[in-house]
A and B are shown apart, each in its own frame.
Chain A
Amino acid sequence: MRKELEKYFRTEKLPHIWCPGCGHGILTGAVVRAIDNLKLDQGKICIVSGIGCSSRAPGYLNFNTLHTTHGRALAFATGIKLAKPELKVIVLTGDGDCAAIGGNHFIHACRRNIDITTVVFNNNIYGMTSGQYSPMTPQGAFATTAPYGNIDRSFDLCKLAQSAGATYVARGTVYHIPQLIKLIEKALLHKGFSLIDAISICPTYFGRKNKMSSPVRMMEFIKDACIPAKNAEKLTKEELAGKIVIGEFYEEFAPEYTEEYAKVIEKAREGK
């Protein structure tokens, strides 16, 4: 590991538990590099996760870290942020953790526009429980609980976040790391709720079930499927089928929740 990055890791806990070629390691590296590029105050960062392979990330990171219950990271994070707004709160979560069991917390955190950066380690599958379909598994893909192909329609997390009220929304991938780091940096600097839908790879379960069991094969798949948001604008729905659109989707400057609450305190005190 590069020397400058060591302070951000609990190096004694490495190597991590993730499988060879698991995208979650790549994404964790991107988060750390974004933090390092911005030279954020390490002691004032709090990283919160739920349950899943992805949610194991905070255990390797040398910050205030909280590994909560499945799907609930944003609820805990909301408590931390409102209690201590001076903390920079980052949520690392999985597609199942965030969009299935945690879906309600997710849309409400977006709606409040509370200053939390959420990075979804989106591998389109439940990795930790060994390969069941998630709300992000594409239609037609295979999973241990979709042995005949998945009939569920999947979410577009970015559209969901934007319509729920998130004020910074972007998607990146494990293949396009320099771009992803930039997107995470922007999200971290943004005041309000920011979402990074970070496309990950799970070669072990998604890969194996879908004839891409090597990490290299999965990375190639992502490389080929991605198109930049700008190019996507010109394409029809049919042309976009099966594509992963990446880049920035939305940025808005809107009142942030904890700042609004500070005003509530002022008002309540005046009325005393």
Chain B
Amino acid sequence: MMAEKTFSIHVNDRACKRCGICIAFCPKKVFSSENGKPVVTNLEACIKCKLCELRCPDYAIVVGGEENE
């Protein structure tokens, strides 16, 4: 039985230092801020450019994969 692959954006809450970079510079405004914490609120808009992942200073974001903790 194969589960259908679902696209997701994972933010590792323990690694995130709430710098706000991912929220501010996502070209599609996929994240919103919950007291500085990034939450994915607009997943459908994501164009998978991975800029958020590449620019996260704390390697807290994984776009389109599974984060292993």
Contact = CB atoms under 8 A, between A and B. Distances in A.
Q: Assess A/B contact in the complex (Cβ within 8 A).
A: yes
Contacts of A178: 51, 54
A219 B59 CA distance: 17
A255 interface: no
B21 A21 contact: yes
B55 A3 contact: no
Contact of B21 (A5, A6, A24, A215): A215
A25 B67 CA distance: 19
Interface residues of A, number: 32
Nearest to A178: B54
Q: Which of B18, B19, B20 has the most CB of A within 10 A?
A: B19
A21 B22 CA distance: 10
Contact of A5 (B18, B25, B59): B59
A191 B15 CA distance: 37
A6 B69 CA distance: 11
B60 to A, nearest CB: 8
Interface in B17-69: 17-21, 24-25, 51, 53-60, 62, 65-68
Interface stretch (A10-18, A42-50, A125-133, A230-238): A10-18
Interface of B: 12, 15, 17-21, 24-25, 51, 53-60, 62, 65-68
13 contacts: A3-B65, A3-B68, A16-B58, A19-B17, A20-B19, A24-B57, A25-B58, A29-B54, A203-B19, A214-B20, A215-B21, A216-B21, A219-B21
Interface of A: 1-3, 5-6, 9, 14-16, 18-26, 29-30, 33, 174-175, 177-178, 181, 203, 214-216, 219-220
